[in-house]
């Protein structure tokens, strides 16, 4: 009887160790959301994106709820919500932007280094693009502060450099913008993010071409 109990205990221990060994990492947990987001943003017609983002936001919420205390799913839920805001009408967009901001704040409170500071990058973009008071919570100074925090964590990343470059270009600071956009073009590839990298590089080149045209 004791032998059977000992054998069962060892078997259970082995199962637990095996489960721990194959437990999904935060990157693996969010990968389906990342992949679907890239498909929507870079391959779907604009008119279809809003509803697709809405569906993906629901999936993101469930993943975040199933992994409490983990910053990465919250960051990606916020990214999906802010992407949906970008293709919705003004009234709906502001509500979605506020909800996205809440997710980024939650993520920052858990781990501001998660995904190489992506919550700072995404929160900065919200502050840069949302209208200011009395309509919304936009704040250019706050946006720049957060962009710099994200770049301190991920100085070579394609997203923080592109989005800060875009912000600088829209602020009329063209020479500064070019510097960050050029860094974005040289950013190292992200494993498993081929479509997102390709789409982002196209955005960088398009913005640089626009700046060149405006300069002539």
pLDDT tens column, 96-139: 999 999 999 999 999 999 999 999 999 999 999 999 999 999 99
Q: Does the CA dihedral 90-77-75-48 come out positive or negative? A: negative
CA distance 105 to 93: 18
CA distance 216 to 211: 9
Structure token pair of residue 79: 């990214």
The structural domains of the chain, with segments of one domain joined by +, span 27-142, 155-216
Alpha carbons within 13 angstroms on the beta-carbon side of residue 204 total 26
Burial class (CB in 10 A: 0-12, 13-18, 19+), 141: exposed
CA distance 137 to 211: 28
Across the chain, what does the average pLDDT equal?
Answer: 91
Whether domain 27-142 has CATH 1.10.238: no
Q: Position of tokens 């913005």?
A: 207
pLDDT tens column, 25-70: 999 999 999 999 999 999 999 999 999 999 999 999 999 999 999 9
Kind plus residue range of the DSSP H or E element containing 21:
helix 2-21
In the chain the beta strands, taken as DSSP E runs, fall at: none
DSSP-assigned letter for residue 67: S
Question: Which pLDDT value is given to residue 126?
Answer: 98
Within 10 A of 5 (CB to CB), how many other CB atoms are there? 9
């Amino acid at each position: 009887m004791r032998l059977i109990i000992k054998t069962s205990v060892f078997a259970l221990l082995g199962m637990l160790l095996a489960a721990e060994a194959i437990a999904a990492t935060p990157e693996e947990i969010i990968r389906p959301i990342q992949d679907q987001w890239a498909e929507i943003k870079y391959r779907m017609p604009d008119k279809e994106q809003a509803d697709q983002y809405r569906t993906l936001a629901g999936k993101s919420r469930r993943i975040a709820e199933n992994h409490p205390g983990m910053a990465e799913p919250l960051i990606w839920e916020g990214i999906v919500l802010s992407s949906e805001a970008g293709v919705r009408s003004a009234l709906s967009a502001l509500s979605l932007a506020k909800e996205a901001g809440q997710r980024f704040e939650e993520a920052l409170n858990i781990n501001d280094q998660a995904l190489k500071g992506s919550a700072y990058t995404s929160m900065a973009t919200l502050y840069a693009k949302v209208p200011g008071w009395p309509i919304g919570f936009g704040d250019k100074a706050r946006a720049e502060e957060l962009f710099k925090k994200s770049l301190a964590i991920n100085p070579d990343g394609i997203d923080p450099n592109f989005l800060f470059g875009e912000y600088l270009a829209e602020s009329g600071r063209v020479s500064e913008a070019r510097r960050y956009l050029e860094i974005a073009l040289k950013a190292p590839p992200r494993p498993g993010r081929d479509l997102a990298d390709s789409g982002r590089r196209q955005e960088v080149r398009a913005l640089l071409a626009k700046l060149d045209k405006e300069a002539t």
